Amino acid sequence: MSTIKFSSTETEQLVIKIQGYFAKELDQDLGQFDAEFLLDFFSTEVGAYFYNRGLFDAQTIIAEKLANVSDMVDEGISEIEKPVT
């Protein structure tokens, strides 16, 4: 699987979150290098699953919005349709 690339600012924020989680939940101090290594591991090994889930969720929302637009178009056409005798 490919690695998800983060900006330096994003990496810094994520490392802080990882270190905070280890400190709070596991009562362990995690150095910056170890936290970055863990971040790289997760982005490589499971990142694609999260990315693909995000794409699937976006696709679902877009499909729903397009269905709503299609319904609105059908209703709009019906409203302006001329009666045939």
Q: Are residues 74 and 34 in the same domain?
A: no
- The dihedral sign for the CA sequence 60, 63, 67, 69: positive
Q: Are residues 68 and 33 in the same domain?
A: no
pTM across the whole model: 0.68
Q: Are residues 34 and 62 in the same domain?
A: no
Residues 84 and 38 sit within 8 Å (Cβ to Cβ): no
Q: Are residues 21 and 32 in the same domain?
A: yes
DSSP state of 84: -
DSSP state of 46: T
State pLDDT tens for residues 68-78: 888 888 888 88
Domain count, the chain: 2
Residues 31 and 68 sit within 8 Å (Cβ to Cβ): no
Q: Are residues 29 and 66 in the same domain?
A: no
What kind and span of H or E run contains 7?
none
State pLDDT tens for residues 29-60: 999 999 999 999 999 999 999 999 999 999 99
Q: Are residues 27 and 67 in the same domain?
A: no
Q: Are residues 38 and 1 in the same domain?
A: yes
Residues 29 and 22 sit within 8 Å (Cβ to Cβ): yes
| Residue 79, domain extent | 46-85
